[in-house]
Amino acid sequence: MTIGVIPARYASTRLPGKMLLDLGGKPLLWHTWSRACCAQRLDRLIIAAGDEQIAKAAENFIWERRLQSAFLFNEHLSSCAEVVEVFDDLPSGSDRVWKVANRLQIANCKLQIGKSEIRNPKSEIIVNIQGDEPQLDPAIIDMVVDRLLSDPEAGAATAASPLKSEQDYLSPSCVKVVLDSQERALYFSRSPVPHCSNLQSAICNLQLFRHIGIYAYRWEILEQFVGLPPSPLEKLEKLEQLRLMEVGVKFAVAVVDYEGVAVDTEEDWGRVRQLFKGGEI
């Protein structure tokens, strides 16, 4: 089973309340969620609400969508889109995702008491989908899941796209990822890496990659993540995936053609609104 989880909280650090910012009459979170609903590789999709405001908004728009018979849900997901309240004070989105996954497993075990077969959670894949990607292509979710399944040595998978502008290369809000010959991650950084003596040539030849914030974890790797303290590189870069890389977990990377804007700052929000006005969202 593959479970998609969108961790969302109101009090985000750089842009408080961003998940509920209005974009065309719908919350920002709605746009990401409605796209994720169309992913074919998810068996279940859950919004992990970090507070009451998010929970209420998510429950409202999920209910509205269920009433609209014309909405093209993935048929397998049509009865599974749901909200789980995770109001605990947790340090990261991945901790919130793990909390949801663990609750689901406990609930499943209770339902399976007395039955001969109990689902083994270690066979499951948990997908952490960032709620601030309103242009998210559901095919990327499927590609990340397939990438993990195709690489038995990898404990997690994520996505990256060719970096096409000098502005993004230099921006700390754009996370860069360096790949090896097997398209696994060597390193993630907010700094402009790798260093390029001829930046324009590297960009034109699609040799630089920006990270897309979606993660597929094997169950035991996500469990390992939440059991580890924040690592030195993670604290320096403010990138939680480095916690696993520092203990040797391999990250497989699906290289995709995607230029969507993740909303982290006021500047990002301005760009997203312009894209919406231009009909690109």
Residue type, position 167, single letter: Q
- Exposure of 116 by Cβ count < 10 A (0-12 exposed, 13-18 middle, 19+ buried)? exposed
pLDDT per residue over 121-130, tens digit each?
566 899 999 9
Where residue 63 falls among pLDDT bands split at 50, 70, 90?
confident
**Among all chains, which residue has been given the structure tokens 């901790």?**
95
The residues with which 128 forms a beta bridge, in sequence order, are 5, 215
Give the CA dihedral 113, 116, 118, 123, nearest 10 degrees. Answer: 180
Cis peptide upstream of residue 194 (ω within 30 degrees of 0): yes
Q: pTM of the predicted model, to two decimals?
A: 0.89
Residues 118/106, Cβ–Cβ less than 8 Å: no
pLDDT per residue over 23-43, tens digit each?
999 999 999 999 999 999 999
Domain 1-136 grouped into CATH 3.30.465.10: no
Domain 139-259 grouped into CATH 3.90.550.10: yes
Length of the chain: 281
Report strand pairing: 209-218 vs 125-129: antiparallel
Which regions of the chain carry the CATH code 3.90.550.10?
1-136, 139-259
